[in-house]
Amino acid sequence: MATRLAAAASERKQRTRGVAYALQQQRSAALKLDWAKVTSSLGLRGQTASSLQAFKKRNDDARRKMQQLSEQATTVDFAHYRTILKNRAVVDEMEKRFKAFKPASYDVARQIKAIDAFEAEAVKNAEATKKAVDLELKDLAATLKNIEEARPFAELTVDDIAAAEKSIDEKTTQLISKGRWMVPGYKEKFGDLAIV
């Protein structure tokens, strides 16, 4: 029993060292990050720059809090609690549960892989959006050029309008074939221009 407890304690220490080493590597990478250079090199402005500054502040606060917590003692003095509490069975039970406790381990590689996949999808969507916006801008530029080069309305002929919109000739032919010489709703909208 004692050897199993010693082995469990040793294993717990090794896991703790492994986690501490991983955290230390992350901390050293985060400390090497030059936040001002990130903002200036990426040309971040406005909302994005302020969001990055807020993230930096949260990062600094979390790092400070973690440093404070890591300096606190992590051992529990069960002997002390046995001396001050009358019900020692509760302390024994808590000590047993404390020693049996195994912290949950997370597959960080899987989470990083999911983040990378999300990032790749976001980049792909951004590129698709950029292409769509570029096409829209090209269309708008062509429309603007047409507007700028268009003849004044007073110089347009019926043939010019019919050439621009093919359905006008078709609709007119259809109305004439039915013996209608007026567009439905014209008199109601514009009045009767016939001289009586």
**5 within some domain:** no
Q: What confidence tier does 1 reach under pLDDT thresholds 50, 70, 90?
A: very low
Rounded to two decimals, the pTM is 0.34
157 and 131 housed in the same domain: no
The confidence band for 87, taking pLDDT boundaries of 50, 70 and 90, is confident
pLDDT in tens, 94-108: 889 988 888 888 788
Is residue 146 located within the same domain as residue 157?
Answer: no
Determine the structural domain holding residue 83 and report its residue range: 75-105
Q: Concatenated DSSP letters for 82-137?
A: HHH-S-HHHHHHHHHHHHH-------HHHHHHHHHHHHHHHHHHHHHHHHHHHHHH
Angle of helix 46-71 relative to helix 2-32, nearest 10 degrees, comes to 150
What is the predicted pLDDT for the residue at 18? 62
193: in domain: no
- Specify the higher pLDDT residue, 44 or 98: 98
Per the structure, how many domains does the chain have? 3
Give domain status of residue 47, yes or no.
no
106-148: pLDDT as tens digits: 788 888 888 888 888 888 888 888 999 999 999 999 999 988 8
Over range 17-39, report the average pLDDT: 66
